[in-house]
Structure formats: C-alpha cells, structure tokens
Chain A
Amino acid sequence: RKEVEQDPGPFNVPEGATVAFNCTYSNSASQSFFWYRQDCRKEPKLLMSVYSSGNEDGRFTAQLNRASQYISLLIRDSKLSDSATYLCVVISGGYQKVTFGIGTKLQVIP
C-alpha cells in the first residue's frame, strides 16, 4: 500500500459545482497534513493546512479524519480558475518525512 494515496482523476465538474477530494495515508503516527495546488507546468503552492477540527478558507474546506486515516478537501462554487492538480501532503517521522500524494486533477468546465 502506498504511504499516501489519491485518486488521480480527472474530475470534470461544471462551474458552480461542489467537489470533494480525499487522500488516504497509511502511517497512523503521521503528524501534520496539508493541501497544495499545482497548476500545469508550475511549481506546487501551499493551499491550506489541515486540522482535526477542520478549517475553512473561503470556498475551501479541509478536514482530517484520524480514525479512518484520510484528509479531504471540499471546494464549493467551483470557478474556472480552480482547475489544477491538488496534492495532499503528509508529514511524519518527527516532521522530517514529507510525502506528497500523486495529486488529483480538477477541471472546471464552463
């Protein structure tokens, strides 16, 4: 089993739709979690941290479920500009081991 797994997609959704991605991780001792966004042929950029209590940033909501070992990202009212690949990141090993998921590709359609 991979340490961090994501559905690569693509997820094709119409503008205005709500879309959610999950990311599962295998190491129950993992310490912190993040979502990054990567546009085509660009470097990844931090989107948001993920906390057990859940956190929201505008149209984006991230959640962590430690019992089931997954994190999620919810995007409401999708915009064309949300089209990108969304990478989950899991930190473990005393904050030294950083593992990126393969990413989930989102395409928002007019």
Chain B
Amino acid sequence: GAGVSQSPSNKVTEKGKDVELRCDPISGHTALYWYRQSLGQGLEFLIYFQGNSAPDKSGLPSDRFSAERTGGSVSTLTIQRTQQEDSAVYLCASSLAGTSGGGSQYFGPGTRLTVL
C-alpha cells in the first residue's frame, strides 16, 4: 500500500517568508508526528496528533510554528516568518494507535527546507 507522503520534497525560501509543509499519513493510522532533523543531528520532536485529541505541541520551537490535522488525516506544518535556523529536513511519521503503536512509526521521505 501507499506509504507516508510529504510535499514538497524540497523548498527554498527567503528569510521572513511563510512556508507550508504537507503530510499524507498511511490510511488508517491515527497517530501523526512531525520532526525536524538538521544536518548531522538527531530527530527533534515537534508535534504529535492522536485521533481527535488535542495535539501535543510541546516540541514546537517557537510560536512561528503551527500545525493542523484536518479530518484526522492530512497534516500541514506552517512556519511563519522563516529564519535561517529553520533550515532542516522536516519529517512526518504516522503509526497505528495501540500499546506499541507509538514506536512503530512509518516515515515519509521528508521536506528539505532551505531558508536563504
């Protein structure tokens, strides 16, 4: 079946512009995660959606970052007034809910964001 898809695959933007990144999770997966990974660094958790529950936003680095998940499926991560330090690969993952579902995540290919 189809895996997690993300778009765009690459995004180059100018400092101060807003960007929107999209994630289509695997059908039936109720949990959705956003991470970012800077060059040579580990994964930094950003936000987590589980079903219709309020998202866990504890990882968002600033109020310039926000995310939505409409209809329990597609999610968009929005970064307003981008800064150069926002340059990174933004990864989305989805998983089934359940006792171990949180760990069995399936990742999309990521969006490589470059802020000039």
Contact = CB atoms under 8 A, between A and B. Distances in A.
B42 A103 contact: yes
Contacts of A97: 56
Chain A contact patch, size range = 20 to 34
A95 B105 CA distance: 12
A interface SS class: strand
Dominant secondary structure of chain B at its interface with chain A = loop
B47 to A, nearest CB: 11
A66 interface: no
A46 B106 CA distance: 7
A89 B103 contact: yes
A34 interface: yes
Interface stretch (B14-22, B65-73, B76-84, B107-115): B107-115
| CB-based closest 8 A-B pairs | A102-B42, A43-B107, A100-B43, A95-B102, A34-B103, A91-B102, A91-B103, A32-B100
Nearest to B110: A43
Nearest to A46: B104
